[in-house]
Structures are given as C-alpha cells and as structure tokens.
Amino acid sequence: MSQLINEIDANHAVFFKEWTAQAAQNWTQLQDNAVYQESYRRLSAIQAIKAYLVVPHYSSGSAAFFFEAHNDALVSHVNASVGAWRAALQALRGCIENILCSIYYNDHPIELELWGSGKFIIGFTDLVRYLEKHPRLGSLPENVSGLGLLKTEYALLSKAVHASAVDFRMTDPISDVLLWSVDPIKASMWSTREKRTIEGVSLLMASMHSSALQGTKLTPLREVLGLSISTSKRTALRQAVGVNIRTP
C-alpha cells in the first residue's frame, strides 16, 4: 500500500475518533434543552396519524411515503440532538415532500405504479396545486388545511438544502469545516421550523380525514394532536370541519 493511502487511512482514524467523541459531547451539552422533549411530544402526533389514519386507510405503496416522512421527522430530531442543524432541517423538508406524496399516490394508484417503475415523478409545486383543488381541502382556508404552513416551511427549508441563506449555514467566517454546533440559538431556530412543520402536517391530515374524527371518534388521536396543533388552529379546525382537538 502506498504511503499516500497509509496517510489518508491514518487521517480517517483520527477523524473518526474525533467526530464520535464530539458527537457524544454535543449530545451531553444539548440533552437538557427543553426543545427536545417538546419535539418528541410533537412527533407522537405523526406516529398517531400513522397508526389511526394511514395504516387503516392507505394502500401499502402510498403508506410507505408516510412511513418515510415519519422517519424523516425522527432523523431531524436525532440530528438536532447532536447539533447537526442543517441536516436536521433538510430532513424536515423531506418529511413535507413525503407527506404530500402519500396523499397524492393514495388517490392515484396508476401514477404510483408508474412511479414504482421509474416512469412518473411529481414535484412539490404540482403536489400543492393538486391538494389546493382537492374536494376535502379546496374550500378550506390555508390556516385550517395546513397548506399555508407547509408551503412557507418548505420554502424556508429549501434554503437550508441549497445553502442559500446565511442563517442555515453550518460553517462560519472562522471555520471551513463545522459538522455541528451546540449554539442554543440554532436549537431554538430548528425547534421553530420543526414545530410549524409538524403542525402543518397535523392540520393537513386532520382536514383530509375530518369525517373519521367527528364527535367521539378516534379520541386517542384527537388527544395527541393537541400536542402539535396550537390553540388558535384547534379552534379554526373545529369551526371549519367540526373536528374537536382536545387540550392535552
């Protein structure tokens, strides 16, 4: 083996030791921040939607997109727990895309089959246009359907994906490599984006499936949605589609 390869492999060993040690230190420093407990509470709403609405009512192929969205949200939580803020934000963007795809492909089994064979793809803009005209959503204000929140968050999170805004950069003027940061301001910024993303998803799914949430139906789901939907949005949802989300 050449000297160059030996040097590169030795550098890898040092890098691996350093980044794994730093990850553990970051987690220790960040773990007591209240944003992570609040995040996990909100994530329980995604799990409940999956269990009560998606698994019973979606095809296996379309449900797989929702499962991936749930995984994206968890990946965001874990990345944020070690201070990998940009990666955490990128995962939230993927969560939004997969949620919209799960609804679209549940309504379009032919397109789902074509997607499976690599012959069909649909982008975020067209997904939103479809949902804006959906018979269950088209007459609802965007603050009820969740589409307004999701469009806003997707645009912001896209800046993180494309590194087109200073606030979403991981590096700073004195660091050419910065895998993560324990800056509490970054934690708060991520928490805000995650909160609004999950609220948008919760509103969207509650509006899409409002008939399944009337009266005393699916009480456990309506209770846990109170962890992800604000008081004002719960009121708007009740007035618009008759879904009563309980205060947790």
Give the pTM: 0.89
Q: With contact defined as beta carbons under 8 Å apart, do 83 and 170 qualify? A: no
CA 207, distance to chain mean position in Å, is 18
* Count of domains for the chain: 1
pLDDT at 1: 61
Q: What is the mean pLDDT of residues 199-221?
A: 97
- Is residue 178 predicted with pLDDT exceeding 60? no
Least confident of 17-31, 44-58, 159-173: 159-173
Q: Output the average pLDDT for the chain.
A: 90
Q: What is the mean pLDDT of residues 195-211?
A: 98
Residue 222 domain-assigned (yes or no)? no
Residue 56 domain-assigned (yes or no)? yes
Domain membership of residue 120 as a residue range: 31-204
- Mind listing the pLDDT tens digit for each residue in 21-45? 887 887 788 888 899 999 999 999 9
Q: With contact defined as beta carbons under 8 Å apart, do 114 and 171 qualify? A: no
Q: Which of 88, 68, 71 is nearest to 79 (CA)?
A: 88
Residue 13 domain-assigned (yes or no)? no
Higher pLDDT, 161 or 134: 134
Residue 217 domain-assigned (yes or no)? no
Residue 57 domain-assigned (yes or no)? yes
Residue 21 domain-assigned (yes or no)? no
Q: Give per-residue burial for 148-169: e unless 16+ CB within 10 Å, then b.
A: ebbbebbebbbebeeeeeeebe
pLDDT at 5: 87
Residue 191 domain-assigned (yes or no)? yes
Residue 94 domain-assigned (yes or no)? yes
- Is residue 172 predicted with pLDDT exceeding 60? no
